[in-house]
């Protein structure tokens, strides 16, 4: 595992923040889709608020999705 200097960490964080801020402009007609399991970290009031706002689409694995490309599931 590579150990970053504080300056490298700050630059990396800045780049991630810039990307997140620019994301709504990049997704003009598309909403990000979040593929989740049924855990409480994915189904809670905070995530529900984001989904209800229309900013995000949440798909529950093996419930909302009825197909697979996995050889394991065949």
Percent of the chain predicted with pLDDT > 70 = 62
**Any idea where the domains of the chain sit in the sequence?**
6-60
Task: Give the dihedral sign, CA 53/54/56/62.
Answer: positive
More confident residue, 68 or 26: 68
Indicate if the pLDDT at residue 25 is higher than 70: no
Q: Which of 54, 59, 71 is nearest to 35 (CA)?
A: 59
Angstrom CA distances, 55 to 1, 28, 29, 48, 63, stand at 34, 11, 11, 11, 21
């Amino acid at each position: 595992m590579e150990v970053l200097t504080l300056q490298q960490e700050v630059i990396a964080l800045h780049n991630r923040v810039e990307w997140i801020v620019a994301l709504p402009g990049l997704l003009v007609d598309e909403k990000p889709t979040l593929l989740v399991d049924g855990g409480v970290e994915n189904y809670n009031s905070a995530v529900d608020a984001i989904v209800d706002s229309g900013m995000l689409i949440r798909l529950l694995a093996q419930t909302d999705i009825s197909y697979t490309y996995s050889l394991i599931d065949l």
